[in-house]
Structure 1
Amino acid sequence: MEENWYPAENEYDPGITKEQWKEFVTDRNIFTEDSLIAFACIQKSTLATCTDMAEEFGRTKNFYNNAIWRTGEKVHKLTNCPLSLSPDKTERFWSICCLGRKMQNGRIELKIRPELEEAFDETGVLKGIEVMEKRFTWIPFYTELAKKLLEFKNNRSDLVKIVYELDEKYVSFIHNKDRTPVSDIDFFSFFSIFNRGNF
């Protein structure tokens, strides 16, 4: 069973107001590009543990952990706000910006503190932040292409026509054994056009 969010409000409050957060989130010395990406991923993630965000958006789990931790350290240095301590007395800089809860698998799910969340909303600094790591930017393209190909499920002859309307240098490998044009094409062969390093 999942635990409640911690540290509980009656146990710890960094004491940073929404107005203070609004100043901090617009200062790139405090909220760097990496930290803005990390917080945008928390907002948009299916499950905001560092490991799950790494699986969903790319980068490493340490990218998210370090970005949030370092942001907390910077805010602490500026404000001298109180710190939350873990049971082993380790300082939890991440809890200045976030709340956490332990999942059954041992991972810690994060959510942004309400005042910081409001500061993000009112300043709009997370709008337009690209959460997907660049090496994963092909995912939306292939998702849309797969959806479009379904329209040809029962009419693949039209798909063949589209293939042969492309520049020959991209589709010259699609032919019968006797090198004549094919009359039918499966979706995997269609996808192969984009996977040969030609585009």
Structure 2
Amino acid sequence: INSAAATARCQDRVAMAELARGAGLPFARTRFVGTPAELAAAGEPAGPLVVKSRHSRRGDLVARADSAVRLRELAAEWPEEPVVVQDFLAGSGWDHKVWVVDGRLFAGLRRSELAPEGGGETLPLPPGELPADWRALALGVGEVFGLEVYGVDLLDAGGGAPLLVDVNAFPGIRGQAGAPEALAELALRTGARAGRRASENGPE
């Protein structure tokens, strides 16, 4: 459904941040720092950091580091992994997961995996309960990145303002009523359009 180019833009977190911030989206400040070993060599961090693999994929590194000791642990576990860092935002301790399928919103709440009690199941959140600017931001991501199916992670940046911290072109939309049907409908429409174009162009 998504183009290869659009998907690639979401797999490199440096490119992702540059595109989002260049378009005026409130994306978390993201800095490429080399490997965890290079980051650890810089000594004690000025404040809590979120350390992420530069290249987004299943099982990638996403961890909170509050001290040089933690950075050295990450360096031992991920010695050659290219990473980026974002400043840790405490927020409410909940991540807002928003998924979009062809302009249709689905949403959920999940305890931040960076919090001590983090992780667990995603609680359903009716999209209508999201503030209008949060919904507009989620839809705007699709326009900027050229995506039809995607997920975004949003945090409360203070005062109710949303902060975008990640974009996923391969979202796992679990437990969302209507999402499988919306995805199937989009796939069928996309396939039908491709078939019509092939028919109109005829054999070469």
Q: Does the pair score TM above 0.5?
A: no
Instruction: Give the structure with the larger strand fraction.
Output: 2
TM-score scaled by structure 2? 0.26
| Larger-gyration structure (1/2) | 1
TM-score scaled by structure 1? 0.27
